Amino acid sequence: MTEPTGRRERKKAQTRQSLADAALELFLERGYDQVGVKDVADRADVSVTTLFKHFSGKEALVFDEDDDQEAALVAAVRERTPGQSIPQALREHLLLGQSRFAVHAADPRFADFTRMVQETPALRDYAHRMWTRHEAALARAIAEAVGAPEDDVSCAALARFALESRSLIQRHPEPRRAADEAFALLEHGWAASHPAG
Amino acid sequence: MTEPTGRRERKKAQTRQSLADAALELFLERGYDQVGVKDVADRADVSVTTLFKHFSGKEALVFDEDDDQEAALVAAVRERTPGQSIPQALREHLLLGQSRFAVHAADPRFADFTRMVQETPALRDYAHRMWTRHEAALARAIAEAVGAPEDDVSCAALARFALESRSLIQRHPEPRRAADEAFALLEHGWAASHPAG
DNA sequence: GCCGAAAGTGTAGTCGTTGCACTTATTGAG
DNA sequence: CTCAATAAGTGCAACGACTACACTTTCGGC
């Protein structure tokens, strides 16, 4: 699967990993804002210049570059089980990620990590950005799925709202229930549950 | 109405205004990223230190601190015309701001300004932040209006989605139509307009 | 008139980030 | 095997946003 890479690429990957590890340790130890990129580079025994050759910025040190998240999102729409609505498919996709989450939730390291991300504005924002980056692709996928024009506003809105739901769900103590409510709103509308106003 | 200010406060306001003016001119002239805070301070004939006593950061130089936007948002929900739904009230509130927009759209200066904001990531993000900052207050207002618990997820979701709609609407060539579609989705749900998926 | 508060100044510093010129190691081709 | 191209890594100097500090000036209330 992950094959015959030369010594060069191996060393490169190793350096990258050292940096990521050093960053995570230090950030968890002292807190993100209390750690300088110099500290991270030092612990990884690497120069600051090298650090920035591997990561686009300080925040990127703690997030994996997941190029396939976009593909997974699009697939969730395109290959949803027949008869299932798009909002429902997206809700399930989100909960899947959420549960992959819960698996590791036992590991206290992981819990501390997500806590730190949520409490550090720079990291919170960065994570949100990485996630909502796929809005355009998702909007296109939805439009294609229902045969709407590529720039249809409803589709763009659904894409935006669905992606925004993630942080809504994540900060809730009971993610599944939160997801159900948020996506019920998207699916059936405000009027359905609040006829009064 | 807003008078009896001493010479002190007048000078302070004047300094602030000089800075805002200098910043706007320079940013429109050369582009946001091509201008340093030093340049702005120099043109306003003020030290950099003073600049930061008046503005929390470089981005804040071009935005008015509107403390009443939150109040207006809450009022739009609380004092909506009887029989009007909350999403509709919010749609109208957004379009009102949008039209106050259109009034000035004739001024080419203003058009250039908004173009610059949309094209400069730092400013786009800052504006978005300033706007969505009122999410919690809006969510509370909605919850109160329908008699739901203060932390109700549907209300929080509606607040988030309504606020997010703004940028969706703003980037659309036909704002009114975009607003209608986005808020129709919120009001009646995806299923209402897309029974197929 | 006096005194404290508040506006403004200059300097020096931190921190993230980049550019540059350089060394070193790996690789592929002849 | 050799050599040159390439890419990783280094150290230094710099830039730009921003802050801390110690200081001067200027109002405004008593």
Residue B2: pLDDT over 90: no
Tell me which of A85, A183, A190 to substitute to probe the interface with B (most B C-beta atoms closer than 10 Å): A190
Angle of the B175-188 helix axis to the A153-170 helix axis, nearest 10: 50
Q: How many domains does chain A have?
A: 2
Same domain, yes or no: A115 and A154: yes
Band (pLDDT 50/70/90 cuts) for residue A3 is low
What is the full DSSP assignment across B37-59? HHHHHHHTT--HHHHHHH-SSSG
Residue B119: pLDDT over 90: yes
Same domain, yes or no: B123 and B57: no
Cβ–Cβ under 8 Å, residues A138 and A146: no
State whether residue A173 is helix, strand or coil. coil
Q: Please give the pLDDT value at position B3.
A: 55
**Separation CA B54–CA B76 (nearest Å):** 31
* Domain edge (last residue) among B19, B45, B62: B62
* Nucleic strand C near CB of residue B71 (< 7 Å): no
Task: Identify the residue whose tokens are 């993630």.
Answer: A166
CATH number of the domain encompassing residue B78: 1.10.357.10
Cβ–Cβ under 8 Å, residues B193 and A154: yes
Cβ–Cβ under 8 Å, residues A184 and A174: no
Q: Which domain, by its residues, includes A87?
A: 66-193
Q: Please give the pLDDT value at position A1.
A: 41
Instruction: Kindly list the distances between the CA atom of residue A41 and the CA atoms of A29, A30, A53, A65, in Å, as whole numbers in the listed order.
Output: 16, 15, 12, 20
SS (H, E, C) A4-52: CCCHHHHHHHHHHHHHHHHHHHHHHHHCHHHCCHHHHHHHCCCCHHHHH
**Separation CA A126–CA A88 (nearest Å):** 27
CA–CA min distance B42, chain A (Å): 30
CATH number of the domain encompassing residue B50: 1.10.10.60
Same domain, yes or no: B94 and B37: no
Band (pLDDT 50/70/90 cuts) for residue B4 is low
State whether residue B147 is helix, strand or coil. coil
Same domain, yes or no: A137 and A163: yes
Distance in Å from the first CA to the final CA of chain A: 56
If one counts every other C-beta atom within 10 angstroms of the C-beta of residue A24, the result is 17
Q: Do A181 and B86 touch (CB under 8 A)?
A: no
State whether residue A1 is helix, strand or coil. coil
Residues, chain B: 197
A190 closest CB neighbour out of B85, B178, B191 = B85
* Domain edge (last residue) among B15, B36, B62: B62
Same domain, yes or no: B178 and B153: yes
Cβ–Cβ under 8 Å, residues B189 and A186: yes
Q: Please give the pLDDT value at position A28.
A: 97
* Nucleic strand C near CB of residue B50 (< 7 Å): yes
A62-85 average pLDDT score: 94
B40-69 average pLDDT score: 96
Mean pLDDT of chain A: 93
What is the count of residue pairs from A and B with beta carbons less than 8 Å apart? 104
Measured over the CA atoms of residue A28, residue A33, residue A36 and residue A41, the dihedral's sign is positive
Put simply, whether A177 touches B (Cβ < 8 Å) is: yes
Backbone angles phi, psi at B14, to 5 degrees: -65, -45
In chain B, the residue whose alpha carbon lies closest to the alpha carbon of A157 is: B182
* Residue A13, nucleotide of least CA–C1' distance: D8
Same domain, yes or no: B96 and B113: yes
If one counts every other C-beta atom within 10 angstroms of the C-beta of residue B128, the result is 14
B189 closest CB neighbour out of A182, A192, A196 = A192
* Domain edge (last residue) among B19, B38, B62: B62
Closest residue to C10 by CA to C1' distance? B47
Q: Is the pTM of this model over 0.75?
A: yes
**Separation CA B133–CA B120 (nearest Å):** 20
Which of these, B98, B104, B79, B99, lies nearest to B89 by C-alpha position? B79
Q: How far is CA A192 from the centre of its chain?
A: 31
Q: Please give the pLDDT value at position B1.
A: 45
Put simply, whether A124 touches B (Cβ < 8 Å) is: no
Same domain, yes or no: A90 and A38: no
Q: Which of A18-27, A31-40, A60-69, A165-174 has the lowest mean pLDDT?
A: A60-69
Rounded CA–C1' distance between A45 and C30, in angstroms? 38
**Per-residue model confidence as pLDDT tens digits over B150-184:** 999 999 999 999 999 999 999 999 999 999 999 99
Q: How far is CA B161 from the centre of its chain?
A: 15
Residue A26 in tokens: 């230090």
State whether residue B24 is helix, strand or coil. helix
Put simply, whether A190 touches B (Cβ < 8 Å) is: yes
Which of these, B184, B117, B125, lies nearest to A152 by C-alpha position? B184
Same domain, yes or no: A165 and A83: yes
Cβ–Cβ under 8 Å, residues B138 and B73: yes
A170-182 average pLDDT score: 96
**Separation CA A169–CA A180 (nearest Å):** 9
Element (H, E) at B2: none
CA trace torsion B175, B177, B180, B185 (10° rounding): -100
**Per-residue model confidence as pLDDT tens digits over A98-129:** 777 677 777 888 889 999 999 999 999 999 99
Same domain, yes or no: B106 and B169: yes
**Separation CA B57–CA A68 (nearest Å):** 36
A191 closest CB neighbour out of B145, B156, B188 = B188
Same domain, yes or no: B48 and B102: no
Put simply, whether B87 touches A (Cβ < 8 Å) is: yes
Q: Please give the pLDDT value at position A4.
A: 57
Q: Please give the pLDDT value at position A65.
A: 81
State whether residue B6 is helix, strand or coil. coil
Same domain, yes or no: B21 and B48: yes
B15-28 average pLDDT score: 98
Same domain, yes or no: B52 and B142: no
Query: 3-state DSSP helix/strand/coil percent for chain A, to nearest 5?
Result: 75, 0, 25
CA–CA min distance B34, chain A (Å): 21
Closest residue to D7 by CA to C1' distance? A8
Which nucleotides of strand D are protein-proximal, with an atom < 7 A from a CB? Answer: 7-12, 15-21, 27-29
